[in-house]
Amino acid sequence: MTTASDLAAGQWTATGALPSPGCWHGQHDGPIVLPSGKVLVAGGADAGATALATAALYDPDAGTWAATGALATARRLHTLTALPDGRVLAAGGVTGAPESPAPGLASAEIYDPGTGTWSVTGAMHGRRWGHSAVALPDGTVLVAGGTTIRSAQSTRSLSTAEIYDPATEEWTEAAPMTEARAGHPAVLLANGRVLVAGGSATTGPGQETALAFCELYDPATGVWTPTGSLATPRGLHQATRLTDGTVLVTGGGPAGAGGDGTFAPFSLTTAERYNPGSGQWTAAPPMAFGRGGHRAVPLSGGRLLVIGGAGGPAFDVGYQNAALFDAAAGTWTPTGGLTSGRLAFAAAALPDGRVLVAGGVVRSGPATAEPGTDVLAASAEIFAAGAEGPG
């Protein structure tokens, strides 16, 4: 049980573990907080990077996870999006064991919390993974970008976009983005527009470069327009809308060579803040540690909790470190660290204001005993911070 001293200190406490270990490397692959308050995770990857079909529900009242209906198709690097009626849309991704190029998916399916089952819905017009998905104010879902197969030996980044209508269960091709990109965060702004920030673009077999270019989608006109660019190209970053309507981008890493021809292999400490009114980014105070593959969860009172991640260039050991950003003061404050370091994990704000994290990569690559087999977590933890807590 979380005590008053835990709240003041911003400590993490253990909760029930996932039915099995898993990790989620995408920007938009969950988890989803359902209208019931339960949390859904679905798909992801196992220790060998094989796509999973499993799904599980976390009950905040009981502090336990339980398996729910499996996906019709195993998928990772997919998207999960909450629909207005409480159902959840899973779209695209990669299936099967790791191979190059990956067997991308155009298929989509719907989770019904009432029955605990998934049903196949209309397929997208093209295969994609590492794309973004955002629920628009009218109840439709905008999917944009990602990666797809170019040939038997190569892949390419996408600029294409599609819109899913839950009423008809059909996809409609939308205007393409100005810039092809994958692994990018997309944020719904208070004015109903969607901001996509950075990401990466494929430049050759096994090669990609980070992007600074940002753009906006306007649902009213169906048009993408450029907006202010990030000061630093970045991928594996997070972009989070704050309570004042601005968007904070944190960390990440410059995937490959930057636009100026330099190469910086390390995770970024820098943060930037987007003002929708001016369409410009300004520098925010840097974090104490560079990190990518982390998670950023907004809290009450204009605070943002940044959790875990890893340092480049290897991104092989998950951080335990966490920090709070105070939007009003523009300051970072260290807070209690995770009991288990992790990256590429599930993180969600619960209805009662606490934060749940689960699963993720503990170690990978040269940090493991068996190269090619990651060490994954099944454990889960809860963070609670009262109004008088850190930050």
Give the separation between CA 105 and CA 149, rounded to whole angstroms.
10
In this prediction the pTM is: 0.93
Helix (H) or strand (E) holding 196: strand 194-197
**CB 288 within 8 Å of CB 277:** no
Q: Which residue has the tokens 């819109």?
A: 163
From the CA atom positions of the chain, what is the Rg in Å? 19
pLDDT tens, position by position, 135-183: 999 999 999 999 999 888 889 999 999 999 999 999 999 999 999 999 9
- Taking every pair of Cα atoms in the chain, the longest distance, rounded to a whole number of angstroms, is 58
H-type alpha helices, 249-350 = none
Give the separation between CA 227 and CA 372, rounded to whole angstroms.
40
**CB 199 within 8 Å of CB 145:** yes
Fold of 20-170: Neuraminidase (2.120.10)
* CA 280 to chain CA mean position, Å: 23
Would you state the pLDDT for residue 285? 97
Give the Å distances, CA to CA, from 251 to 153, 297, 344, 349.
32, 14, 14, 20
Tokens, residue 285: 């105070």
DSSP state of 366: G
Would you state the pLDDT for residue 254? 64
Give the separation between CA 89 and CA 20, rounded to whole angstroms.
22
Q: Which residue has the tokens 């990569």?
A: 361
Phi, psi of 358 (to 5 degrees): -155, 145
* Residues in contact with 33: Cβ distance below 8 Å, sequence separation at least 6, in sequence order: 39, 40, 82, 348, 349, 350, 351
Please choose, from the candidates 71, 58, 53, 70, the residue with its C-alpha nearest in 3D space to the C-alpha of residue 32: 58
Helix (H) or strand (E) holding 131: none
Give the separation between CA 239 and CA 132, rounded to whole angstroms.
12
DSSP state string for 135-171: E-TTS-EEEE--EEEEETTEEEE---EEEEETTTTEE
Query: Which of the residues in the chain have pLDDT under 50?
Result: 1-8, 257-262, 387-391
Cis bond upstream, residue 101 (ω within 30): yes
> To 10 degrees, the CA torsion angle through 304, 306, 312, 315?
-140
* Residues in contact with 3: Cβ distance below 8 Å, sequence separation at least 6, in sequence order: none
Report the helix count and the strand count for the chain, using DSSP H and E.
1, 34
Please choose, from the candidates 39, 46, 20, the residue with its C-alpha nearest in 3D space to the C-alpha of residue 80: 39
Give the Å distances, CA to CA, from 19 to 45, 66, 156, 314.
14, 7, 35, 28
Would you state the pLDDT for residue 24? 98
β-pair type (380-383, 346-349): unpaired
> To 10 degrees, the CA torsion angle through 299, 29, 37, 332?
-10
Give the separation between CA 241 and CA 250, rounded to whole angstroms.
12
Tokens, residue 283: 């520098």
Give the separation between CA 224 and CA 169, rounded to whole angstroms.
24
**CB 90 within 8 Å of CB 42:** yes
